[in-house]
Amino acid sequence: MRETVSFNVAFVGTGANPDEPSVDGFAMAYRHAAAYERLEDCRLVGCADIVRENAAAFAEEYDIPAEGVFEDYEEMLTAVEPDIVSICTPPATHANLVIGAAESGVVDAIHCEKPMALTWGGSRRMADVCEERGVKLTFNHMRRFGDPFRVAKRRLDDGVIGDLRRIEYAWGNFYDNGTHAVDMCNYFNDEHRAEWVIGQLDYETEDIRFGTHNENQILASWEYENGVHGMASTGPGADAVDSDWRLVGTDGFIDVYLTDRLAVQVYTVDPADCEELTFDKLASEASCIDLAVADVVQAVEEDRESELCARNALNATEIIFAGYESARRRGRVDLPLDIDDNPLEAMVESGDLSPAPADGD
Ligand SMILES: NC(=O)c1ccc[n+]([C@@H]2O[C@H](COP(=O)([O-])OP(=O)(O)OC[C@H]3O[C@@H](n4cnc5c(N)ncnc54)[C@H](O)[C@@H]3O)[C@@H](O)[C@H]2O)c1
């Protein structure tokens, strides 16, 4: 029988649990906490938020004792010495908080919200520091655990559409939820790295999500090291792709729908293999976050790599920043990506892009 292991879990950035979650605040820590609470071997022991009332309300909701409530995350780590810490703050803070938590020497694992970081340099540094310190770093690309994606991947792996040639997506944008979308493309392509990215974008109206700029439209294309191509067409160009993700193979294609309905459609040269599957929920067993957190905890327990590992997240993040960099350079970007910043943010700061305020004033 498996020995029961106990993990003390803490949270950085609790949020205020709004009635109507939006890109100004989802309070993702509440979703993480509910997922850890489902696991017998996890105990919630601490939380920190620069807004003390947020941390206090969160602690009350999840029975975290008053001694575990802090404004300063470093004080919290020293006081409660968690095994696992979930970081649920805005993207611009992720790199420093992850690095600080890893360097505290206290934690075994850090589960950080997406996108990895504000910049490509920050993304690499947080992964490097965790690697050096032997801290397991994962990112909450939890949609991978959704049933439509798992089913589509199984059909692909079964060879129903022949050999994979191209993955297209037209869901959301390229950075904020694009990090889920590109990560999903990489999941479909067995986590291969890209070799080059070419892209152009349009940014006329400010789209600030969780404090960070996002393009209004991008057309980006990349080639993976195994010869498979990826393509993103977002915003007004989303109609270029007939579904949210399309996997094109030598003998057919698979469409995955997420926006208007939850469905997978398989089209093949052999009509007997064509099928349409619909889903009531993204994940039938539990929420995708529940499944993601369970995998993160199990990976710590079994000392294995979670599929949400930093290496996989870096592969997606590199494509995203390379797409923005291609627009800045007006040319193809060969990988590995050799920049440190976030080209979209930099182009806004330099005045090369001047998006109008979203409210029109
Ligand atoms: N996985 C998903 O599908 C998904 C969905 C929504 C949001 N997110 C991501 O979750 C992250 C958090 O978003 P949110 O909507 O939960 O934010 P939120 O605004 O609801 O909560 C963030 C909290 O972090 C606190 N904070 C900021 N800096 C801090 C620091 N240095 N130390 C401690 N606390 C700090 C803020 O006071 C706030 O209470 C973002 O990266 C966002 O992109 C992911």
pLDDT digits (tens, 9 = 90+) for 226-283: 999 999 999 999 999 999 999 999 999 999 999 999 999 999 988 888 999 999 999 9
According to DSSP, the residues that pair with 52 across neighbouring strands are: none
Predicted local distance difference test score (pLDDT) of residue 1: 44
Return mean pLDDT, the chain: 96
Sheet strands side by side (includes 69-70): 69-70, 42-48, 7-12, 84-87, 109-112, 136-139
Q: Which residue has the tokens 């590992």?
A: 309
pLDDT band (50, 70, 90) for residue 285: confident
- What is the C-alpha to C-alpha distance for residues 343 and 326, in angstroms, rounded to an integer? 9
12 Cβ inside 6 Å of ligand 1: yes
**What are the helix (H) ranges across 243-353?**
288-301, 310-329, 343-350
Please state the separation of Cα 165 from the chain's center in Å.
24
268 Cβ inside 6 Å of ligand 1: no
For residue 139, the CA-to-ligand 1 centroid distance in Å is 13
Predicted local distance difference test score (pLDDT) of residue 2: 45
25 Cβ inside 6 Å of ligand 1: yes
Q: What is the pLDDT of residues 60-111, one digit of tens each?
A: 999 999 999 999 999 999 999 999 999 999 999 999 999 999 999 999 999 9
Residue nearest to atom 26 of ligand 1 (CA): 13
How many residues comprise the chain? 361
For residue 29, the CA-to-ligand 1 centroid distance in Å is 8
What share of the chain in percent tops pLDDT 90? 93
Q: Domain coordinates of the chain in residue numbers?
A: 7-142+287-306, 145-285+315-350
113 Cβ inside 6 Å of ligand 1: yes
- What is the C-alpha to C-alpha distance for residues 275 and 267, in angstroms, rounded to an integer? 7
- What is the C-alpha to C-alpha distance for residues 245 and 254, in angstroms, rounded to an integer? 8
Domain 145-285+315-350 has CATH 3.30.300.210: no
- Map residue 42 onto helix, strand or coil: strand
Q: Residue 127: name the closest of 114, 136, 115 by CA.
A: 136
Q: What is the pLDDT of residues 331-347, one digit of tens each?
A: 999 999 999 999 999 99
pLDDT band (50, 70, 90) for residue 348: very high
Predicted TM-score (pTM) of this structure: 0.97
For residue 47, the CA-to-ligand 1 centroid distance in Å is 13
For residue 58, the CA-to-ligand 1 centroid distance in Å is 13
- What is the C-alpha to C-alpha distance for residues 78 and 73, in angstroms, rounded to an integer? 9
Q: What is the pLDDT of residues 132-161, one digit of tens each?
A: 999 999 999 999 999 999 999 999 999 999
- What is the C-alpha to C-alpha distance for residues 338 and 189, in angstroms, rounded to an integer? 24
Q: What is the pLDDT of residues 6-30, one digit of tens each?
A: 899 999 999 998 888 888 889 999 9
- Provide the residue type at 334 as one letter: D
Q: Which atom of ligand 1 is nearest to the CA of 17?
A: 20
Q: CATH top-level class for 7-142+287-306?
A: alpha beta
